[in-house]
Amino acid sequence: MRGAEPLVHCLTNSVVRQITADVLLAAGAAPAMVDHPDEAGDFAAVASGVLINVGNPTTEQIEGMHAAIASARDHGTPWVLDPVAVGGLALRTGLATGWLDHGPAAIRANASEIVALAGAGAGGRGVDSTHDVAVALAPALSLAERTGGIVAVTGPQDIVVTNSGGSTIATWVTSGHPLLQKVIGTGCALGAVTAAYLGAARTAGLPDHDAVVAAHAHVGAAGTAAGRVAAGPGLFAVAWLDALYTLTPEEIADTVTLLDASP
Ligand SMILES: Nc1ncnc2c1ncn2[C@@H]1O[C@H](COP(=O)(O)OP(=O)(O)O)[C@@H](O)[C@H]1O
Ligand SMILES: Cc1ncsc1CCOP(=O)(O)O
Ligand SMILES: [Mg+2]
């Protein structure tokens, strides 16, 4: 990923733009926020990956999202859906549900968002999950089957699933630190890192599933490393960024536990 330095087009919420750009840079990617409807399609055509995050949408940004998704499909750019707080709010729930038929390469969300997006229950509490990750496994498999893309559910442990073309893969990723929940935008930034890894993997001819696992491992391992040196959210955020930048692939592999739970 660092070698490819993928260009990541982010249409994301107003709360997390700064941390998303910082995280992409630290992880080895190049961020660009391009929301305007008259520009978003052109940019998605040349980007390595696109992030669509519905965390705080404006009317104009939604038009940009439609344009970016259409262009990403036309140009084969992998795009990632982050259905922030879907379930509790009708506008974003309708948007995200409609986009399931537009070929997201990956969906990245917490357990409550996956449950709600799959129509298997209500959402969480605001932007936070109130469901266990394991509860979201069946909804994630159903979303993966419907979209043909990868679905990743985050929490104390993450699960990444593929369920298309007769192939079902489920990978548990154990890493991270509870302080990741005390810094805003860690999940949103992970969605952008997922788009970055997908872009890099497509260039290298590597599987999308492995790209999504690698994104979660990189972000999670950096969280584990930051938790070793930080007592609270402020220093943790800084240490997490530094670890995203400094961790080697070997250190990430040594920090993260992967478990193949494919049926
Ligand atoms: N209790 C926890 N322990 C360790 N890592 C966690 C914990 N909760 C969340 N994470 C990690 O924090 C990151 C953001 O996930 P999450 O908080 O579930 O997303 P969101 O912000 O979208 O709700 C992920 O890398 C996830 O693995
Ligand atoms: C607080 C908040 N409100 C709308 S979007 C957002 C950020 C959510 O960030 P994350 O899902 O990464 O915790
Ligand atoms: Mg969060």
Q: Tokens 């209500």 label which residue? A: 122
Backbone angles phi, psi at 111, to 5 degrees: -60, -45
User: Of all helices (H) and strands (E), which one includes residue 234?
Assistant: helix 233-246
Q: Tokens 């008259």 label which residue? A: 38
1, part of any domain: no
Q: Report residues near ion ligand 3: CB below 5 Å.
A: 187
Ligand 2 geometric centre to CA of 184 (Å): 6
Distance CA 247, CA 112 (A): 30
Digit-coded pLDDT (tens) for 185-199? 999 999 999 999 999
Q: Tokens 């080697």 label which residue? A: 248
107, part of any domain: yes
Does residue 122 have a pLDDT over 90?
Answer: yes
150, part of any domain: yes
The average confidence (pLDDT) of the chain is: 97
E strands along the chain, which residues?
7-11, 30-33, 49-53, 79-82, 106-110, 150-154, 158-164, 167-174, 257-260
State residue 11's pLDDT score: 99
- Which residue range(s) make up the domain with 227? 7-260
With CA atoms as reference, report the closest residue to 158 among 256, 22, 255.
256
Ligand 1 geometric centre to CA of 221 (Å): 12
State residue 185's pLDDT score: 98
The closest ligand to the CA of 244 turns out to be 1
State residue 160's pLDDT score: 98
3-class SS of residue 125: strand
Q: CATH no. for residue 203? A: 3.40.1190.20
Q: Does the Cβ of 127 fall within 6 Å of ligand 2?
A: yes
Q: Mean pLDDT throughout 34-46?
A: 98
State residue 49's pLDDT score: 98
184, part of any domain: yes
Digit-coded pLDDT (tens) for 92-108? 999 999 999 999 999 99
User: Of all helices (H) and strands (E), which one includes residue 77?
Assistant: none
Cα 249 from chain centroid (whole Å): 20
Q: For the chain, give the percent of residues with pLDDT over 90.
A: 98
237, part of any domain: yes
**Does the annotation place 185 within a ligand binding site?**
yes
Does residue 263 have a pLDDT over 90?
Answer: no
56, part of any domain: yes
Digit-coded pLDDT (tens) for 190-239? 999 999 999 999 999 999 999 999 999 999 999 999 999 999 999 999 99
Predicted TM-score (pTM) above 0.80? yes
**Does the annotation place 108 within a ligand binding site?**
yes
Does residue 262 have a pLDDT over 90?
Answer: no
Residue 251: band (very low, low, confident or very high) from pLDDT cuts 50, 70, 90: very high
**Does the annotation place 33 within a ligand binding site?**
yes
2, part of any domain: no
Q: Is the dihedral of CA 231, 236, 242, 244 positive or negative?
A: positive
Provide the domain count of the chain. 1
With CA atoms as reference, report the closest residue to 55 among 94, 16, 8.
16
Burial zone of 101 (CB within 10 Å; 0-12 exposed, 13-18 middle, 19+ buried) = exposed
Distance CA 157, CA 174 (A): 5
Distance CA 28, CA 238 (A): 16
